[in-house]
Amino acid sequence: MLQLSYIRENRDAVIERLAVKNFKDVALVDAVIQLDDSRRKIQNESDTIAAEANAAAKQIGDLMRQGKKEEAEAVKSKSSGYKEQVKELTEELSAIEQELNEKIVQLPNLPHASVPTGVSAEDNEVVLEYGSVPALPEGALPHWELLNKYDIVDLELGVKVTGAGFPVYKGKGARLQRALINFFLDQAAEAGYNEVQVPVVVNEASAFATGQLPDKEGQMYHVTGDDLYLIPTAEVPVTNLYRDVIVKEEQFPIKHSAYTPCFRREAGSYGAHVRGLNRLHQFDKVETVQIVHPDKSYEVLEEMSQYIQGLLQKLELPYRVLRLCGGDMSFTSALTYDMEVFSAAQERWLEVSSASNFETYQSNRLKVRFKNAEGKMQLAHTLNGSALALPRIVASILENNQTEKGIRIPAVLVPYTGFEWID
């Protein structure tokens, strides 16, 4: 959530930056400012009346102690309306604050100055490419055919048990999943991330605090009987560990990793680009989250990008890094890097990770603060990065490493899988 003070003091700059995200509702920005003006005016009026009421109460007490009962009664009569006035103003203030909150949460985060303009993924900026596209043997197969050939993932059995988008991993497929999860968690630990196990359902307050609500209601599974939400990413529960917490500046950077299953209702359209493991309703992911000093957040974002790239290099996967344009960024992000792996059999790039800096957008909702060097309360910055999401990593490993002998397992995973080949 944007900070009211910043919107008030930088109206034109806010409108200009929001336009990079193709958000052009200037009237909403002005409505927020006008509502805040009304809120301030009513609050001042209420404070003034409350002060007058307190002064009158003190005066009445003094007069009564002096035996001046008639004068005390006169002051009491004159001030009798104060209580009702304060009550009316409090009710009016509550209504305005509710409307203000409803409107300000409709404003997306401001994009960083380096974010390119654009309306879709086609306008994203390629920052770098790494690795070579492997030469596959004649008759190479896309991963959804490899799943059946080697009997390692059963998509139809998942349909039987639950529905489309809920695969069943079997044998070496299940062991490859577990190997990747353990590998990613071990790598995160070596990089200084403190592993946590968190709930995979969250309450409405948690979903609001990280920006999933009210922006992404349709993408989350809602447990209506308990008013809980299945998490779309571990970012939600991990970041909420610090909701309403005042951290100490010396704790920065706060670094956590977590493995969770993730759930997303909107799995996309039909066609080859969503076949197999390309897009699922349930998938596994290891997430990294950092809460940092505002002066360090963009340095940390670059470090997180490098860390994720290091994982892809160890898995021997060709990849590229994109800086997302304004039109392709999330509602809450100030700057996002996407990492895409090249799938040789599908002959296209597959997104496998995003690393984002939210600046104070989440922390303002979370109320995660610290005392700065001057002793003043200040909002921290929050960041997260997928390190990594498994489905497309598995798809790329299967496709890019297929040979006439079978599918070669990347050397770094062999100690985790216990086998070198899927054959």
Residue 154 included in any domain: yes
Helix (H) or strand (E) holding 287: strand 282-292
- State the total domains in the chain: 2
What does the pLDDT look like over 330-347, one tens digit per residue?
A: 999 999 999 999 999 999
- 171/224 same-domain check: yes
- In 3D space, the residue among 391, 143, 411, 117 whose CA is nearest the CA of residue 267 turns out to be 391
Q: Does the structure show a pLDDT above 80 at 215?
A: no
For residue 269, what pLDDT band results from cuts at 50, 70 and 90?
very low
| Both tokens assigned to 371 | 């005392």
What does the pLDDT look like over 55-75, one tens digit per residue?
A: 888 898 888 889 888 888 887
The annotation status of 353 as a binding-site residue, yes or no, is yes
Q: Can you tell me the distance from the alpha carbon of 200 to that of 184, in angstroms, rounded to the nearest whole number?
A: 19
- Provide the sign of the torsion angle of the four alpha carbons 167, 171, 174, 177, taken in this order: negative
388 in Cβ contact with 352 (< 8 Å): yes
Predicted pLDDT of residue 272: 54
Predicted pLDDT of residue 270: 52
The annotation status of 264 as a binding-site residue, yes or no, is yes
Backbone angles phi, psi at 56, to 5 degrees: -65, -40
The annotation status of 265 as a binding-site residue, yes or no, is yes
CA distances from 305 to 174, 309, 417 (A): 28, 6, 26
Predicted pLDDT of residue 68: 86
* Average pLDDT for 159-187: 97
CATH number at residue 14: 1.10.287.40
Where is the domain boundary, 104, 133, 157? 104
Where is the domain boundary, 104, 133, 160? 104
- 385/310 same-domain check: yes
> What is the SS3 assignment for 42?
helix
> To the nearest whole number, what is the mean pLDDT of the chain?
94
Least confident segment among 53-62, 200-209, 340-349, 368-377: 53-62
Q: Can you tell me the distance from the alpha carbon of 286 to that of 365, in angstroms, rounded to the nearest whole number?
A: 24
- Tell me the residue range of the domain where 99 lies: 4-104
What does the pLDDT look like over 42-53, one tens digit per residue?
A: 999 999 988 888
The annotation status of 125 as a binding-site residue, yes or no, is no
For residue 54, what pLDDT band results from cuts at 50, 70 and 90?
confident
* Average pLDDT for 126-134: 95
**Nearest 10 degrees: Cα torsion 35, 41, 44, 46:** -80
The annotation status of 354 as a binding-site residue, yes or no, is yes
The annotation status of 54 as a binding-site residue, yes or no, is no
- 141/24 same-domain check: no
The annotation status of 275 as a binding-site residue, yes or no, is no
The annotation status of 247 as a binding-site residue, yes or no, is no
Helix (H) or strand (E) holding 422: strand 421-422
Residue 110 included in any domain: no
What does the pLDDT look like over 293-329, one tens digit per residue?
A: 999 999 999 999 999 999 999 999 999 999 999 999 9
Residue 109 included in any domain: no
The annotation status of 204 as a binding-site residue, yes or no, is no
Q: Is the pTM of this model over 0.85?
A: yes
The annotation status of 287 as a binding-site residue, yes or no, is yes
Where is the domain boundary, 40, 72, 104? 104
Predicted pLDDT of residue 60: 85
- 313/369 same-domain check: yes
